[in-house]
Structures are given as C-alpha cells and as structure tokens.
Amino acid sequence: MIINLPSSLFADAIVGISVAILIGLFCAQRFGTNKVSYLFAPIIVLWFLVIAVIGVYDLLKHDVGVLRAFNPKYIVDYFKRDGKKAWTSLGGVFLCITGTEAMFADLGRFSLRAIQISFSGVVFPALIAAYCGQAAYLVKFPENVGNTFYASIPGKSTLNTTVAAAIIASQALISGAFSTISQSLILGCFPKVKVIHTSTKHEGQVYIPEINYILMLACVIITVSFKTTEKLGNAYGIAVVAVMLITTCMVTLIMLVIWETRILWIALFFVVFISIEGLYLSAVISKFIEGGYLPLAIATVLMMIMGIWQYVHKQRYIFELKNKVSNEFIRDLSLNSDINRIPGIGLLYSELVQGVPPIFPHFIANIPSIHSVLVFVSLKPIPINKVAMEERFLFRHVEPRDYRMFRCVVRYGYNDVTEEPKEFEQHLVNNLKEFIRHEQFIQEGGGVPEQIVEPTNISHSTLLGNEEKVTRSSSSKVHIEEPIIEEPIIEEPIPQQQHSSRVSSRDIQSFNVATRSPNSSSRIISGPIQGAEEEMQFVQNAMDKGVVYLLGEIEVIAEPKSSFFKRIVVNYAYSFLRKNFRQGEHVMAIPRSKLLRVGMTYEI
C-alpha cells in the first residue's frame, strides 16, 4: 500500500496517508463486493488503460529495441554476465508477477470465465506494455532506476489513479481472505466467526467482521513499523512464492488423484514449475531477515490455530459418535422411578444429526425430569441461498414411539435469517404436527408419498435451486424416508453458567446402570399413542405449556494419560480459542429466560 511518491512529501506524511487509506478501505468492506464494485470497476479499467498507453508511448519514444528481451537467449546471457548478482536480482524481478497468485482468489465472486477473459484480455497485455515502456525509458535514463514508474509518466498526472488502483488491488486480497476463512469454517478448520453473505445470488460473496478488523489492525501496525516499500516488498515476495509452490504441489496431487493424468505429464508439469518457483524462492529467501520473516510468522500462527481447532473439534465429534446413547438406554428409561415427565416441549441442541448425544443421560442424572415432548435439534447450514420453510425441518422418531421423543435437523441456507424464538418454536411445532399426521397416514396404509432422497454430498444438493427442476410432492414438508446425513455441524457450545454441574466422560457408562431399577414404574410414558389428530393436539398442548431450550456446556480436556504436548493443546490452547470466539447462544438466538444448561466434560 505504501507507494514511492515525490520527495516533496515527507516519509511520516506518506505513512499517515497510507494508514488513513487502509482504515477507509477496511471500513468499506461491510457494504459488500457488489456495492463497492460499481466504484472499483471503472477505476481499475481506467488504470490498466492508462499504464498501457503510457507504456506504448515510452516504448515508441525511447527505444523499441527492448522488445528483443522476449528472446530467452538474453536470460542466459544475463546470468553468464552477472552471475550471483543476477541471481540476487530475481528477488526484485519476482515482484513483477506478484498478484498472479491471487488470480482466482475471488472465484466465489466472479465466474471462472470472467477471470480468464479479464486477465488474458486486459491485465496481461496492459502489464506487458507498461513494463516494456519502463524498460525503454531506463535505456535512455538509467539514473532514474529507483523511481522508474513515476519518472516515465508524461506530465506526472496519474497520482490519484495510482493510489486508487493500489486500493483496489488490496481489495482483491481482502476478499480472498474472507473466502478462505469461510471455506475453512465449512471444513471445521477454524474457530466460529460471524459470516455475513452480502449477495443473494453468489454464495462466495461474504464479509467477516472479526477478520476484517483484525486484518485492518495488522496492516496498520505493519505499515507504521516498516514505513518503506523495501521491507514490505521482501515480505510480499516470500509470501507469493510460497503460495505458488503450494499451488504447484496441490495441482500435482489433483492431477494424480482426481484427474488421473498420465504420470509423464504430471512429472513434466511438476519439474518445470517447481524449478522456476524454486529458483525464485532461493533468491527471495535471502531477504528473510529484511522483512521476509513476517509472512512466515503469520502463516505459522494461523496454521497453529487451524490445526488445533480442527484436531480437537474432530476428536470431540468422534467422542460423541462413539458415546451416543444406545437404544437400550432409551427403552430402559421406563424402569427408572426417579424420572418424571413434565408438561411442555424440550429442545435439546446437539451437533449429532443421528442418534442421541451423550449429554442427554447427563441431563437426566442432574435433572431427573423430561418434558412431555422432547426434540433433539441439530442445526445444519447447507450451501444454497434459502431453504423454504416446508423444506427446513427433517423429523424422525426416537424409539420407542410412546416416549414422544424426536430427532430434528433444521437446515438453513447461507442467506436465511435466524427467526425470533417464538417464530422458530411455532414453525418447529407446526412441522412436527405435520410429520405426525403424515406418518400416521402412511401407517394406516395410505401409501408412501413420492420419496425425496437427499444427495450424499450436500454440496451438490439440488434443494431449491433456481435453475434446477426438482419434482416435489404436495406434502413435501415431511421426508420420512429421507436420510439424515451424518456430518458434523460447526456450532460452538454455550459458556457455562455458575450453577452448571460437571461430569467426566468416564461416568457416561454409569448412567445406563442408574436407569435400571426393577421396582420402578413407567412414568416416562406420557400416555398411549393415539390417532394423528389426538397426537397433534398433544403436541399443541405441550407447546402451550411452554418451550425450554436445553444446552450442554461441553468442556474438552485431554485424558490424564495424554502427553504433555497434547494436554497443552487441548486444555489450554483449544480452551482459549473456544472462549474467545463466537459462542453458540448468539448464533442460535436462544432467549436466556428459556435456557437451561448443564456442564459436562469430554476426555479425549
């Protein structure tokens, strides 16, 4: 962002102007790419036209002979003549191609074809013309090598356009950072942050407030600390060549595993690109102490955050899968005389979309009461714009049916707005009653309605696609035969309240034993299963008695026999991340007056 401006401006003033521009740029991010692009697009087109025209002008005026540099022979001659000095200069030469590593960073905001056309038809020709023009100017005025761009401009009237273009170039990388974090969230590789979708048409256009302001603070600190473009250039050069090396390795793997390309072509691709990039890396790595350490330090911190979060979150989910409540435990609830059914509907939130989570027996152990209707709720974001209300709730019974327990997956598109609690409760109950009516119809021999099978890969779901035609029955709001995909849902646990109790994971097995009592009654059963209308009325009566949200505050710790390193990672690093990023209570908009939480410890 810091540009070599005329010497009439003092260095401190340049830094101050750069900081002001950075703050303004990051503050504008909340408006979204769609809105700012109306301003940015004309400026960037003007910029490329200006540098192309200036380049052609300088080329024709000073020395057309520089076009001979396209002959690869001059590369060999350059290295023969200058040796180590030529190799060292590659660190500066490499800065000419920075930006190409982010060519497809905004793929979620622009189509592949749009990026290919703009870079091939506008960006590449304009840059070639600009660099050729500067080379021709240097042939005649070699003393201006330190400020070639501004010195070669006729009339010196492009300062405003240059600053605007630098701002827009930064915009592409900021947008790319948002996209990368958003994708990491979907993969469960990053702590929960607020993601705002700024477009109703394009899923990839997102804005992340927390990341935006962290980036702004980091950019301001780096700008004030480095002050000159030399150190920034060294840092940027190492970052770019590292991205290119990683891209080459990843594309090689894709060619081998996904595309199944012939091994000869894979080897040729890898050798050619890794040789060129390795040569550039060897040149820029010499600038490590002079600012090049910065991107490696930032990358190390981010890699640690993502690695710790992904590892512990995965282990936590595996723990829940292994320790989910058995069918025998549910059936044996009727043998426990201490458990009562109380009026109302209980919504127990869990990440599991199949089975009963291990927090359920812990609730019973601490609060030996179950609401007359109990629903295990899982929230599942899916990669479509909006999910229609009749498609949002997927229900299944938890056997035995006379316990009136249900599993429910609530699906949200990336542009759906979380309802107010009363509205959400009403929608859930209405869909639950419809599920009961529809299921009763099938059991009475009414036939199975047109089945709707959800794809195994949710990213290719055809649900509610505007372009796709999907056959739906008139009663498609309930999918009895539809599989619920067993996949982790990235929602964070709620912070523990003062009166929450705790239990270790090794106590889970004891809950099964505690429920078995030969002298107990069957108070767990709310009443015999009746007809559809009676069951629907039963649910409505429970709704009228009130809805309570049941949440487990899950604390994850390492097992006592774990290594020292694992205890540091799980007990301290992960705990710090979990407590300092967004929590599930805010995401799910649960009213505190209806919230009941019980703490539990998972030992992994």
Name the residue among 464, 389, 462 with its Cα closest to residue 431.
389
Tell me: pLDDT of 498 over 70: no
Close Cβ partners of 262 (under 8 Å, ≥ 6 residues apart): none
Q: What is the pLDDT of residue 450?
A: 42
CB 107 within 8 A of CB 204: yes
Q: What is the pLDDT of residue 90?
A: 85
Band (pLDDT 50/70/90 cuts) for residue 125 is very high
The arithmetic mean of pLDDT across residues 526-548, rounded, is: 82
Distance of CA 144 to the CA centre of its chain: 46
Per the listing, tokens 């960037």 go with 44
Tell me: pLDDT of 200 over 80: no
Q: What is the pLDDT of residue 160?
A: 66
Tell me: pLDDT of 574 over 60: yes
- Give the tokens for residue 380: 């599942």
Q: What is the pLDDT of residue 136?
A: 92
- Compute the distance between CA of residue 209 and CA of residue 204 in angstroms, rounded to an integer: 15
Residue-wise pLDDT for 547-565, tens only, equals 988 887 788 888 888 889 9
The CA angle 229-231-233, to the nearest 5 degrees, is 65
Q: What is the pLDDT of residue 89?
A: 84
Q: What is the pLDDT of residue 449?
A: 45
Alpha-carbon torsion 514, 516, 518, 520, what sign?
Answer: positive
CB 528 within 8 A of CB 421: no
CB 316 within 8 A of CB 577: no
The arithmetic mean of pLDDT across residues 475-487, rounded, is: 34
Q: What is the pLDDT of residue 7?
A: 52
Distance of CA 542 to the CA centre of its chain: 38
Select, from the ranges 94-98, 201-205, 548-552, the one with the highest average predicted confidence (pLDDT).
Answer: 548-552
Tell me: pLDDT of 279 over 90: no
Helix (H) or strand (E) holding 278: helix 263-284
The arithmetic mean of pLDDT across residues 46-70, rounded, is: 89
Q: What is the pLDDT of residue 589?
A: 65
For 547, the 3-state DSSP assignment is: strand
Q: What is the pLDDT of residue 266?
A: 94
Left (φ > 0), alpha (ψ -120 to 50) or beta: where does 301 sit?
alpha
pTM for this one?
0.69
Band (pLDDT 50/70/90 cuts) for residue 86 is confident
Name the residue among 42, 43, 50, 241 with its Cα closest to residue 127.
50
Q: What is the pLDDT of residue 129?
A: 93
Question: Chain-wide mean pLDDT for the chain?
Answer: 77
Residue-wise pLDDT for 210-261, tens only, equals 899 999 998 888 888 887 777 777 888 888 888 889 989 999 999 999 998 9
CB 408 within 8 A of CB 432: yes
Select, from the ranges 186-200, 360-374, 499-513, the one with the highest average predicted confidence (pLDDT).
Answer: 360-374
Q: How many helices (H) and strands (E) does the chain have?
A: 21, 8
Close Cβ partners of 232 (under 8 Å, ≥ 6 residues apart): 1, 2, 222, 226, 291
Instruction: Tell whether omega for the bond before 400 is within 30 degrees of 0, i.e. cis.
Output: yes
Write the secondary structure of 450-480 as one string of H (helix), E (strand) and C (coil). CCCCCCCCHHHCCCCCCCCCCCCCCCCCCCC
Residue-wise pLDDT for 145-171, tens only, equals 877 887 888 765 566 666 766 776 677
Residue-wise pLDDT for 7-33, tens only, equals 545 677 778 888 888 888 888 887 766
Select, from the ranges 80-84, 127-131, 319-323, 442-446, the one with the highest average predicted confidence (pLDDT).
Answer: 127-131
- Compute the distance between CA of residue 12 and CA of residue 16 in angstroms, rounded to an integer: 6
CB burial class (10 A; 0-12, 13-18, 19+) of residue 303? exposed
Tell me: pLDDT of 497 over 60: no
The arithmetic mean of pLDDT across residues 467-480, rounded, is: 33
Q: What is the pLDDT of residue 483?
A: 35
Residue-wise pLDDT for 392-433, tens only, equals 999 988 888 888 889 999 998 877 777 778 888 899 999 999
Q: What is the pLDDT of residue 586?
A: 54
Residue 403 vs residue 531, higher pLDDT: 403
Q: Which of 127-141, 229-243, 318-332, 472-486 has the lowest mean pLDDT?
A: 472-486
Q: Which of 304-313, 464-473, 504-513, 536-545 has the lowest mean pLDDT?
A: 464-473
CB 545 within 8 A of CB 592: no
Band (pLDDT 50/70/90 cuts) for residue 55 is very high
Sheet of 595-603: strands edge to edge? 393-398, 405-412, 369-381, 340-349, 547-557, 595-603
Q: 340-359: buried (b, 16+ CB within 10 Å) or exposed (e) per residue? A: ebeebbbbbbbbbbbbbbbb
Tell me: pLDDT of 477 over 60: no
* DSSP string covering 175-224: HHHHHHHHHHHHTT-S-----EE--SS-TT-EE-HHHHHHHHHHHHHHHH
The arithmetic mean of pLDDT across residues 190-213, rounded, is: 80
